[in-house]
Amino acid sequence: MTAVAPDKAGRERPPRIIVGVSGGVDSSVTSLLLKQQGESIAGLFMQNWDEDEAQGRASGAEGRMPGATGSSNCRAEEDRRDALGVCGRLGIPFHARNFAKHYWSGVFEHFLAEYRAGRTPNPDVLCNREIKFKTFLDEARALGAEKIATGHYAQVGQSDGRWILLRGFDSDKDQSYFLHQLGQDQLAATLFPIGHLPKAEVRRLAAEADLPTAQKKDSTGICFIGERDFRDFLGQYIPAKTGDIHSVDGQKVGEHSGVFYYTLGQREGLHVGGVKGRPGAPWFVVGKDVGRNVLFVDQGIDSEWLMSRHLRSEPAHWVAGAAPATEFSCTAKTRYRQRDENCRVRLCDDGSVEVHFERPQRAVTPGQSVVFYRGEQCLGGAVILRTDARMELESTAL
């Protein structure tokens, strides 16, 4: 492995940029481009999930659940080897750090608490804020770096003396939704070298440079935990408790395997069909009563019980440090890959926001994030607290 270049006094000079190398193609090409630009860089691999430690915590809190495996650790070791191979290929220093305890306390405990409350959290948003652009950034600075770089599909710019977060050029891969919790300090210290590229070009550059990750499949699933059966995984920490599935008019139409495991708008896994006196249309989750352990469903993908036009959030985060105004118009997304929707935003005294959409929105889900945009600029966002969906308004009557 190439050593860090010494300064005139013979001391090793720290790299100017630390790249978060994940063992995937995006971070690999991020490193490649910075190297080609003549930057002084090093790679840092983050291990943020430790299966044995996680199961030890689960055993203490809930009782060890059957079926737990160390497969995630195997994948982490494979990713580590790939990241090391890329750094070796590019001739840059390689570092590895275990941030599993930070991930557990900063991300995963919140993740479990939200599910226990019947909400559907987005761990990728919190992971970016607490791990990739906090713990990782702190470690990079401890190594003497001025900036960090990651393989996110987003861009950083400046406007009126403030740093701004912009969508990635590739609209199919844009990750600004997950980065909306970043602020001025993080953006000032962050580079997104592939944010201006389409994914196909990233793959081409990796193959051209003969990087070992050029054809590696993109990772999916929960941030740093990976691809696995979600219900089995969550069941290791929140034991399943079967209960009734009711139609919105109160008829029992089936049984669920655990109310925590379902989210609004979900169709898969309900196993409801052939209900006497009901049409053959598919059923969708429209609400949950955690206290009674009841799951509510209705028929039709655009059931009126899934639609809302108004939401209230938790205190919002603004990339610029403050909201654009106490009341303003913009576009918003309430889930990743959703099309932009026109809305009106009003800032409340406690920092939360009320959002009113021009068109009814389907399955706006408490616990998820509403993220605001003006053109290509991501303004910020907030966790959704409640909506005016009919199920929420009438839940006490059901």
**Backbone phi, then psi, for 296, in 5-degree steps?**
-105, 140
Q: Is there a catalytic annotation at residue 330?
A: no
Nearest-angstrom CA–CA distance, 22 and 234: 24
Of 87, 127, 330, 343, which is the active-site residue? 127
User: Cβ neighbours of residue 366 under 8 Å, at least 6 residues apart?
Assistant: 119, 120, 384, 385, 386, 387
Collapse the DSSP code of 138 into the 3-class scheme (helix H, G, I; strand E, B; otherwise coil) and give the result: helix
Is 223 in the active site? yes
Whether 373 contacts 379, CB under 8 Å: yes
Q: How many CB atoms lie under 10 A from the CB of residue 81?
A: 13
Of the candidates 223, 330, 343, 378, the residue annotated as catalytic is: 223
DSSP 8-state code for residue 374? E
End-to-end CA distance of the chain: 64
% helix / strand / coil in the chain, to the nearest 5? 30, 30, 40
Distance of CA 391 to the CA centre of its chain: 26
d(CA 297, CA 295): 7
The CA distance from 287 to 245, in Å, is 10
Rounded Cα–Cα distance for residues 176 and 150 (Å): 13
In the block, residue with structure tokens 């408490």: 366
Sign for the CA dihedral angle at 250, 256, 258, 264 comes to negative
Nearest 10 degrees: CA dihedral of 142, 175, 165, 322? -90
Q: How far is CA 1 from CA 85, 199, 325, 339, in A?
A: 10, 29, 51, 45
Cite the active site residues: 127, 223
